[in-house]
Amino acid sequence: MKVFWQKGFEATSLDDLTKAMGLSRSSFYSAFGCKQSLFLQALEHYSKNGIRNLRKVADTAEDDAVDAMMQALSDPKGGPQGCMLINCITELAPHDEKVAEIGRRHLENIEETFAKVIDPEHPETVRDKASAYSSLAIGTLALRKAGMPAERIANTLKQAKTILSS
């Protein structure tokens, strides 16, 4: 999973994978069938784990859960390589329906997690707000990849959120 995360699907070779897993080629193929099959499993694993973490962030946030979630999303564990699912959607979704499907589910889970912690004072806007928060956080991933300093991104996010939640 980590190798795919770092390099993407196409740029990851069988040698990269077997080396990282400490497996011979024959064992690899008898265990996973093909490169793509392992990749899809890695994607699913990443998504499940990521959503679980995000929910934990939402549940254990001290003051502002929306804030904490946006920070977590815009500054994922992978560092500068961003969110594995966004990377894979960008690289593959238009040509690979399976990846697109996993991506859609992931994004919907993010939105839903936002929706749960948004102040339901105006219930008719909760869904759109959740969608806006998601898009905002996801958009900053691109800024970060291009080299914008994390500090400035966090600041922008905070400001935007302040305005959005008013």
Nearer to a copy of itself, 59 or 101 (CB): 101
Dihedral through CA 130, CA 133, CA 138, CA 140, nearest 10? Answer: 180
12 binds, among DNA, a copy of itself, none (CB under 5 to 8 A by kind): DNA
- The SS3 call for residue 149 is coil
One-letter identity of residue 64 = D
Angle between helices 25-32 and 35-60 (to 10 degrees): 70
State how far the Cα of 136 lies from the Cα of 140, in Å rounded to an integer. 6
Q: Which string of b and e fits 4-31 if b means at least 16 CB within 10 Å?
A: bbbebbeebeeeebbeeeeeeeeebbee
Question: Considering CB distances under 5 to 8 angstroms, the limit depending on partner class, which of a copy of itself, DNA, none binds residue 163?
Answer: a copy of itself
Q: Binding of DNA at residue 36 (CB under 7 A)?
A: yes
3-state secondary structure of 150: helix
Please state the closest distance from residue 83 (CB atom) to a copy of itself, in A.
9
For DNA, the closer of residues 15 and 62 by Cβ is 15
Shortest CB 28 distance to DNA, Å: 7
Shortest Cβ 45–a copy of itself spacing (Å) = 18
C-beta of 18 vs 131, nearer to a copy of itself: 131
Structure tokens at 106: 């992931």
> Is 6 among the residues that bind DNA (CB under 7 A)?
no
Answer with the entry of a copy of itself, DNA, none that 29 interacts with (C-beta below 5 to 8 A by kind).
DNA
Which residues sit at the interface with DNA, rule CB under 7 A?
A: 12-16, 23-27, 29-30, 34-36
